[in-house]
Structure 1
Amino acid sequence: MATYKKRGYKPKKEKVTQEVEETFDETQSTTAEVFNTLDETANKSEEWIEKNSKPLFYGLVAIASLILVYLAYSKFIAEPKQQEASNELAYPRALFDEAATFAGAKADSIYNLALAGGVNGKYGFIDIADQFGGTKAGNLANYYAGISYLKMKKYEEAIEYLSSFKSDDELLGPTALGAIGDAFADINQPKEALDYYQQAANKKDNQFTTPLFLFKAAQIAMDLKEYSKAEKLYTTIKEKYADSDQGRDIEKYINSAKYAQ
């Protein structure tokens, strides 16, 4: 029996082949468009760079110059100045330590010498703070000057210099703030004293300065008749710093604040 094909009939294989070819052509077209776009972008970038080559060059030169200036400043100005300030600080610090071993007029005379310097051209704390303000030693000079004035009961000067001292040190930072609180307490400004004692307590959390200044803050709060605040401060010592010197008999202070309300 004869086999024949109907007019217009196409094998399925040819149809699949045609579809694949069409798909391939579309993919090729999309890829070409992407590459064309990349080429256009690259060309535009090259044109922009060529157009702005001089400003770019001068900008790079300026940045490089700033880096070199900074490195030169650090190496030849900042570092020698810091070293000089540290050397100058040694003299008044020795006097400061010596003054702590005396009391009364003898101690005051040594603190004065540490503050003013002048012996054999040596700088005191005041000179170092003024002349080397941008150095670590100059910053420390503010602290020592402030404590010296506090020891001499010159409270306004103590507040001035201690306020100029900036530090994140575990002990020195809180101690400076607490010393300002002491100065305000001694000139009968309890609200300011309370504020600085709380700042000192919150500056760095440790087992020495934190309970000390919490306790001082609580005592000032009692004087101001802010009994609930005092109770809260005492309770914080009990809960977090029971092993500190202030925490040993803290229960009686808590009761004192509680029954005063």
Structure 2
Amino acid sequence: MATYKKKYKAKNKAEKEQNIENGSTTAEVFNTLDETASKTEAFVGKNQKYIFIIIGAVALVVLGSLGYKEYVTKPKQENAMNDMFQAQKYFEQAVNGVEKDSLFNLALNGGEGKFGMLDIISEYGGTPAANLASYYAGTAYLKLKDYKNAVEHLSNFKSDDEILAALAKGNIGDAFVQLNQKDDALSYYEQAASLRDNEYTTPMYLYKAGIIALEIDKADRALKHFKNIKENYPNSTEASNVDVFIGKAQMLASK
């Protein structure tokens, strides 16, 4: 049921004055708001041209970024992957075949009028394909015993892949072993082992780190790596003879 609200009437002079004061304050607030709105409207009116230019510029940047990704980056990556196909094929044949050196060279430099990995890196820099080509190129150089170029290209490769990320670091370690930079090799083997935790790359690079650590008289570090394999990766290939190296490391560490 609707209720009737009786109109309120001020009882005395003080209350009337209070009401007048309140009304005056309210009016003041509204006047301030009106004044601010008027100033804002005047500013917008005066600078409308520049405001629209700024808004338009921001819109162009956003749309340009989206357009660049859709119409430049994406097609560039697709072209790069298409151009890299033959080089990948040469690389795979080299890994599994017998004429390895010639096939690794073809993977690097191209053949039959097709791009090699070095061409992909040069022509499609900044794409995922060029990044992957750095891994292929570095590994091919490692197999061809060009260790400095192997380190350079493998160092340019960046990946979150479970296996490739660790293999790239480990391959750099292999290159440093051949360059007789064994402290660097140990560092990269340890990075490769800790980069990912799996049953394949982790024990493999712990083992390599342990062997190199023994060679450069760092028996304590070697012992730590060998024990890690025994305790945490007992089913790995490396665990099958790790006890021998644990014994050797213990003996050298106690001297």
TM-score normalised per structure 2:
0.82
Structure 1, 226-235 or 173-182: larger mean CA deviation: 226-235
Matched, 1:139 2:134: no
In 2, the alpha carbon distance for the partners of 1:184 and 1:20 equals 93
Q: Which residue is equivalent to 1:125?
A: 117
Q: CA deviation at 1:144?
A: 0.8
Structure with higher Rg: it is 1
Q: CA deviation at 1:185?
A: 0.6
1:219 to 211, 219, 224: 211
1:243 to 214, 235, 240: 235
Distance 1:154 1:30, change over 3 A: same
SS at match of 1:206: coil
Q: Which residue is equivalent to 1:172?
A: 164
Task: Trace 1:69-80 onto structure 2 (pairs within 5 A).
Answer: 69-80=64-75
Over residues 123-156 of structure 1, what are the superposed CA-to-partner deviations in whole Å (9 max), with x where a residue is unaligned? 1111111111121111111111111111111111
Distance 1:148 1:45, change over 3 A: same
Q: Which residue is equivalent to 1:234?
A: 226
- Kindly tell me the number of residue pairs found equivalent between the two proteins: 244
2:59 to 53, 64, 69: 64
Over residues 138-189 of structure 1, what are the superposed CA-to-partner deviations in whole Å (9 max), with x where a residue is unaligned? 1111111111111111111211211121111111111111101100011211
Distance 1:208 1:49, change over 3 A: farther
Distance 1:224 1:21, change over 3 A: farther
Distance 1:249 1:30, change over 3 A: farther
Distance 1:26 1:179, change over 3 A: farther
Distance 1:194 1:21, change over 3 A: farther
1:50 to 45, 48, 58: 45
Q: Which residue is equivalent to 2:7?
A: none
Alignment identity in percent? 45
Q: Which residue is equivalent to 2:104?
A: 111
Structure 1, 89-98 or 19-28: larger mean CA deviation: 19-28
SS at match of 1:201: helix
Distance 1:86 1:35, change over 3 A: same
In 2, the alpha carbon distance for the partners of 1:19 and 1:184 equals 94
In 1, the alpha carbon distance for the partners of 2:24 and 2:246 equals 84
1:89 to 40, 65, 84: 84
In 2, the alpha carbon distance for the partners of 1:96 and 1:239 equals 37
Q: CA deviation at 1:206?
A: 2.3
In 1, the alpha carbon distance for the partners of 2:16 and 2:193 equals 79
RMSD over aligned CA atoms reads 2.7
TM-score normalised per structure 1:
0.80
Distance 1:93 1:47, change over 3 A: same
In 1, the alpha carbon distance for the partners of 2:177 and 2:15 equals 91
Q: Which amino acid aligns with 1:89?
A: M
Q: Which amino acid aligns with 2:68?
A: Y
Distance 1:155 1:27, change over 3 A: same
Q: Which amino acid aligns with 2:142?
A: L
Distance 1:43 1:194, change over 3 A: farther
In 1, the alpha carbon distance for the partners of 2:234 and 2:16 equals 84
Distance 1:210 1:39, change over 3 A: farther
- Listed as ranges, the gaps of 5+ residues in structure 2 are 1-10
